[in-house]
Structure 1
């Protein structure tokens, strides 16, 4: 039988076995083509990634074979940068995919396995003689802070005189998690296409029945639909409503929708959803807006359409500021300054997305922190990364008596050397839901 490498862009979701083939192929390519440059950029000569079963370092899952759903016993991965690239070795009781087996409990009969395992790590370090040994500790990024207290103590004891060479691998971890292969970006186009299709279906009269369906019903329908399609959400989908006569309410200095989350959806409502799915080890994060037509209406009120247009303009201003080398805080400040110059009242709170929904990398604001994000906002933007372009604008709607509406948008984008590309396009028109 001839085996053909599966194409993750042809259809999603792929069967699990094909997903595993794709993910393992990506891992091999990332170790060969991505990791050496990242280690050089971070100044790390040898990287130790350590986790125990059910207490995994968040990075570990991105390095293990697709058939490993968790670490086994204590799993130690050693990645050494040399002139030939990166040597990937596993100091583990069991074989770890394409990693070279560097230890077995049978290597030292009569010696406790834990002691023998750490001794193997010490031997590798002695042979490599690295100047800087990266370990996953970070005060800024939780995803780069996966080394447990116990394993930190044990690795320090095991390395002895080499322990003073231990450094934070924060920059390396963030780079590894945020950098995307071209094929991963193509797959994310397909995954975003899938989530957009599910949202379109949710906003159809086959699902959303005005006067009967609640916002909570719709949120649970979306979650069930994703599950039935063979993908899972990485957070509970949410659906919120705005309607004439129910003004926005202030929360932590920001105006947010005040219609109760379990309210029945009525004609004339602006319906907003926030949805993210998981497949192929990647995540999406999307928000889209629909309008429930009143009897006799053929389109949304002009004021709501204008709010979406301004939201699209705010997307343009933010992507124009998204330049490699700038920090997240600098991107935020430039986008907000450009908005102010055009009289746009907006909040920007975009973030990396990839292996994780709220991924490691530069934070470009938080919805309740518009002055910049200390730490995570000081990290620079790099090419070959994917973001959830997330923001909201506030506009008065004349047809609602001048009531302010919050038009919140979130769309996957890829930043490469060619610029910004929207993953499966962005929303430029409200999705219209018939009233009956």
Structure 2
């Protein structure tokens, strides 16, 4: 073999290696994850619940110097906090269910008289007046300096005590104990907001499943232009979610943005049924519930026109240079100890500096779709939000980075289209935040041109 041939073969070898490496760094196609059996899911959820009781509640009682926390409800009139504290196999409060969390501080002689805090849980279930005598006995035995009831005029997660229930509890406590009652909304808020570390891996798998669903929905497997409607895709999502043994916390939304539309107003066209056409920009909003955890995801897609083999550059740039940039900014601004209002203000300032017109309406997520914690703007409120916007980011919390960028598309004669994205992040114990799975950086593409549209329409 000549020297020239060897050099050529060596060069070819390195070209092949380089090409293999380039292909290997391409993002994998998201895949569906099968949930474990209901029995196994219940074990997983109950382990999370126990960790909250053993670790999260004592830490919060210490943080806010609370000795006793009372959570009380009747069947079908549950306190919001109840749903974050109940066993997985409990579907509603029984009769009257009363939970008392008592802070117990123990001093240890070793380690320079360190103190450890645990929680003593009293659970009372009854439908007679005996429950009030038992409550009074438990409170008197604890002799607390401070008692918290879930009452708050601004934050729903801290206002779960029904009016009649409050009257009964106050009567049972007596004047001596009633004088110790205080309000601390952050106790309920942060209990619901705090994520147990073991939740993140199952949540990642659920998020990847959502991505897999959207990838399938926004493809020629589901959409045939001139035939498929937005409502068809909505109900496809509902059936697909159900088939994964998941549920949803809102009806999925699918809409299109089309050349010639006036679609600059947020959520203007929601609920309108439209036939999907070539050249449409697709948008969906999907939120599933699995393991008792909610997701919230918005993605964009594009239906190729006849003869097109790729997405117009102006539409790709709308995703990358507008919406993705806004996501980066908001994600970077979500920092521990900052309020939602502070994050909103700094995010909008940076977004405006980039010359982007957009709206930020991000929110906590977890036990609920719109969960407990600091609000970062709302669709119609791009200024400070009293109460909920004044809450601070804490470690081990999750957020949906939800926003829209108003994008002028050159190929559509400069028509402005709202690019709405939403992706979930988690803030870890160090305060760093991460995408739960990943965020959308390429448009989903419906390449339908190999389909016989006439045949499908007849079917």
TM-score by length of 1: 0.90
Deviates more, 1:182-191 or 1:10-19: 10-19
1:281 aligns with 2:292: yes
1:297 aligns with 2:308: yes
Deviation track 1:151-172 (CA, whole Å, cap 9, x = no partner) reads 1001000000201211224111
1:65 aligns with 2:87: yes
CA apart distance, 1:247? 2.1
Provide the C-alpha distance between the structure 1 equivalents of 2:33 and 2:264, rounded to a whole number of angstroms: 42
Provide the C-alpha distance between the structure 2 equivalents of 1:259 and 1:382, rounded to a whole number of angstroms: 34
**Closer, same or farther: CA 91–17 of 1 in aligned 2, 3 Å:** same
Provide the C-alpha distance between the structure 2 equivalents of 1:429 and 1:318, rounded to a whole number of angstroms: 19
> May I ask how many residue pairs the two structures share in their alignment?
404
Aligned positions of 1:136-215 closer than 5 A:
136-160=150-174, 161-215=176-230
C-alpha contact 2:70 2:147 (8 A) present in aligned 1: yes
C-alpha contact 2:264 2:418 (8 A) present in aligned 1: no
Could you tell me which runs of 5 or more consecutive residues in structure 2 were left unpaired when the two chains were aligned.
1-31, 106-116, 450-459
Paired residue for 2:137? 123
Pairwise CA RMSD of aligned residues? Answer: 1.5
Which residue, 57, 67, 72 being the options, matches 1:35? 57
1:428 aligns with 2:441: yes
| 3-state secondary structure, aligned to 2:39 | helix
**Closer, same or farther: CA 210–67 of 1 in aligned 2, 3 Å:** same
1:368 aligns with 2:376: no
Provide the C-alpha distance between the structure 1 equivalents of 2:270 and 2:226, rounded to a whole number of angstroms: 15
C-alpha contact 1:241 1:265 (8 A) present in aligned 2: yes
C-alpha contact 2:360 2:404 (8 A) present in aligned 1: yes
Provide the C-alpha distance between the structure 1 equivalents of 2:133 and 2:279, rounded to a whole number of angstroms: 69
Deviation track 1:185-234 (CA, whole Å, cap 9, x = no partner) reads 22211111111111111112121111111111111110111012110001
CA apart distance, 1:242? 0.2
Deviates more, 1:184-193 or 1:356-365: 184-193
TM-score by length of 2: 0.86
1:75 aligns with 2:75: no
Paired residue for 1:7? none
**Closer, same or farther: CA 433–226 of 1 in aligned 2, 3 Å:** same
Provide the C-alpha distance between the structure 2 equivalents of 1:409 and 1:195, rounded to a whole number of angstroms: 14
Provide the C-alpha distance between the structure 1 equivalents of 2:76 and 2:269, rounded to a whole number of angstroms: 40
| Off by >3 Å, runs of 4+ in structure 1 | 255-260
Deviates more, 1:140-149 or 1:401-410: 140-149
1:245 aligns with 2:260: yes
CA apart distance, 1:43? 2.6
CA apart distance, 1:299? 1.4
CA apart distance, 1:419? 1.1
Paired residue for 1:105? none
CA apart distance, 1:256? 4.7
Could you tell me which runs of 5 or more consecutive residues in structure 1 were left unpaired when the two chains were aligned.
1-9, 94-112
C-alpha contact 1:242 1:257 (8 A) present in aligned 2: no
C-alpha contact 1:177 1:360 (8 A) present in aligned 2: yes
C-alpha contact 2:264 2:406 (8 A) present in aligned 1: no
C-alpha contact 1:47 1:169 (8 A) present in aligned 2: no
CA apart distance, 1:77? 0.5
**Closer, same or farther: CA 12–182 of 1 in aligned 2, 3 Å:** farther
| 3-state secondary structure, aligned to 1:371 | coil
- The structure whose Rg is larger is 2
CA apart distance, 1:435? 3.2
Provide the C-alpha distance between the structure 2 equivalents of 1:33 and 1:375, rounded to a whole number of angstroms: 27
Deviates more, 1:137-146 or 1:257-266: 257-266
Which residue, 142, 146, 158 being the options, matches 1:132? 146
CA apart distance, 1:413? 0.3
CA apart distance, 1:270? 0.5
Provide the C-alpha distance between the structure 2 equivalents of 1:355 and 1:401, rounded to a whole number of angstroms: 44
Provide the C-alpha distance between the structure 2 equivalents of 1:128 and 1:337, rounded to a whole number of angstroms: 50
Paired residue for 2:29? none
Deviation track 1:320-360 (CA, whole Å, cap 9, x = no partner) reads 11111111000000000001111111111000000000001
C-alpha contact 2:33 2:208 (8 A) present in aligned 1: no
